[in-house]
A and B are shown apart, each in its own frame.
Chain A
Amino acid sequence: MASARGRGITAGAYSGGDVARAVADAHRSDWAFVLAATVRVTADIDLAEECVQDAYVAAMDAWQRTGVPARPGAWLTTTARRRAIDALRRENTLRRKLPLLVVREGDDMSDDDRDAIPDDRLRLVFTCCHPALAREAQVALTLRLVCGLSTAEIAAAFLVTEATMAARVTRAKRKIAGARIAYRVPEARELPDRLDAVLTVIHLVFTTGHAAPSGARMVRADLVDRALWLTRMLRGLMPDEPEVRGLLALLVLTDARRETRSGEDGRLLLLEEQDRGRWDRDAIAEGKDLVLGALRGGRPGRFALQAAIAAVHADAPSYAETSWAEIRGLYDALLRVWPSPVVALNRSVAVAMTDGPAAALAEMDALEAGGALRGYRYLPAARADMLRRLGEYRSAEIAYGQALELCENDAERAFLAGRIAEMRAAGNDPAG
């Protein structure tokens, strides 16, 4: 303890490094629990956040003197709630900036016994993802309140200024309080839709992080970890929900391809091009196991089905040797529960593998005629690919050009430009 003494801390003090690490760990794993438990006391999100923040700061100091407690989460929760109660006693109406959250009558707002603190994390999650909030607000609020990310961190992850993100978060909190969005877990009949919204938010966090170009700021890669953490937390709180299992399977199976998702130029690699030897086989095993669980017991939802598709890909030794008929069947099922044009497009890519590029092209042309995918660059890109395979080089060149016009990503633009050059060359070559 010589170094501790050297810093003038009393005898019996604990290593500053260990304490800092413990606080950081507790921040990562317990923030949601502590905040949710404190909101129960304050019914005011801003005040709760302040008290929780203060509790973590207090921990840095207190744990140096007394050591890291056996249950850091419980210590932080009790400390934050105590501060909240004190603040409420001192409070006058002038201090309050936002109206209070609606917490239903019958909810116990008193200082619970330390060992009987209820787990309110589900309430927090469902409130953050309420359909009355815009999607980007749901995402920001979930990262802020459930994960404890700072406004600056969230702003950096979504490539906006801190001021923009702060305004987004404030507006969302105002909406919750002003429109009286209740702080509760939805009832059974509302649950499927509400849960779908939560899973969509988490999936969006994941894809934002997963699609980040390699070498992007660390905080974007962190989003992948946060999404996985959120899903595992949700699974712990709702162990019987197959769609939660489905989302976890989807994330785990997609993340298994992390090492191969982008090439050296930063371009996202197609499934076709990825080196399957570098896929994480342990993650794939976990994912497949989860998929089985998610598909069990009746009508699988869209996350379970997407995960099943990812599992079939994960099992295939190569793109060509994939069970495309099975994938096409899964897409059929997915379209029934999720009639999205993007899903229809992805299905048509599978059709190309089972029925040939001409059949797939016909479906893509129908999608284009429908107009729902206007501005979506993957439609002309997919059409171009089919035309290329059919030897229609001039038409393929035009379609690649349409995709290029819609594309802002430098590496992808380079890829498309390369294809265009190939098509020109092939078109000019009399040998075909």
Chain B
Amino acid sequence: MGQYLILIYEDEAGYDNATPELMNEVMEAHGRFAEQVAELGAKLEGGKALQPVQTATTIRSDVVTDGPFVETKEALGGYYLIEAKDLDQALEVAKLCPARFGGVEVRPIMTFE
């Protein structure tokens, strides 16, 4: 068993003119995702949506700047923390994670002996 972070990257432009229908769909998809995780035998241990990348602030060597750490076309928009048997199960889960305007990164959590 190991923990993995699923990082959701999406092009925010996709949500710029989002209709209420679209937002509903996205909310429902994330709700379904939580059920699907359990069905796959993995555990959902946390997850949040992030406010848009314009609200980000970066600090590097004590210098505070407006904006994300790295400017990318697809910005970090949310995350899920899961527990899975192994990478294959983590990937199976991650494939179901809604990310219609981008994709996800799967990163194993570091354990310290």
Contacts and interface: CB of A to CB of B under 8 A. Distances in A.
Contacts of B88: 181-182, 186, 190
B55 to A, nearest CB: 31
B113 A180 contact: no
B17 to A, nearest CB: 29
Contact-residue size bin, chain A (C-beta under 8 Å from the other chain)? 10 to 19
A24 interface: no
B91 interface: yes
A178 B107 CA distance: 9
A9 interface: no
Nearest to B86: A182
B108 interface: yes
Question: What DSSP secondary structure best describes chain B's contact surface?
Answer: mixed
Given A93-B113, A182-B85, A182-B86, A132 B108 contact: no
B87 A132 contact: yes
A188 to B, nearest CB: 14
B92 to A, nearest CB: 9
B113 A181 contact: no
Contact of B86 (A93, A180, A190): A180
Contacts of B111: 99
A214 B86 CA distance: 45
Question: What DSSP secondary structure best describes chain A's contact surface?
Answer: loop
A117 interface: no
Contacts of A180: 2, 86-87, 90, 108
A180 B2 CA distance: 8
Interface string B75-113: 000000000011110110000000000000010100101
A41 to B, nearest CB: 19
Interface string B8-46: 000000000000000000000000000000000000000
Given A93-B113, A132-B91, A178 B85 contact: no
A407 B17 CA distance: 47
A179 interface: yes
Interface string A373-395: 00000000000000000000000
A180 B90 CA distance: 10
Contact-residue size bin, chain B (C-beta under 8 Å from the other chain)? 10 to 19
Contacts of B2: 180
A102 interface: yes
A179 B113 contact: no
A178 B90 CA distance: 13
B85 A179 contact: no
B108 A178 contact: yes
B87 A182 contact: yes
A110 B113 CA distance: 24
Contacts of A179: 87, 106, 108
Nearest to B107: A179
B3 to A, nearest CB: 10
Interface in A168-223: 178-182, 186, 190
Nearest to A176: B87
A179 B90 CA distance: 10
A350 to B, nearest CB: 37
A353 to B, nearest CB: 42
Contacts of A190: 88
Nearest to A132: B87
A181 B108 contact: no
A320 B87 CA distance: 52
A3 B86 CA distance: 56
A104 B90 CA distance: 15
A181 B88 CA distance: 7
A190 B88 CA distance: 10
The 5 A-B pairs at the shortest CB distance, nearest first, are namely A182-B86, A179-B87, A102-B86, A180-B86, A180-B2
Given A179-B106, A182-B88, 9 more contacts: A99-B111, A102-B86, A178-B108, A179-B108, A180-B86, A181-B87, A182-B85, A186-B88, A190-B88
20 contacts: A93-B113, A99-B111, A102-B85, A102-B86, A130-B87, A132-B91, A178-B108, A179-B87, A179-B106, A179-B108, A180-B2, A180-B86, A180-B87, A180-B108, A181-B86, A181-B87, A182-B85, A182-B88, A186-B88, A190-B88
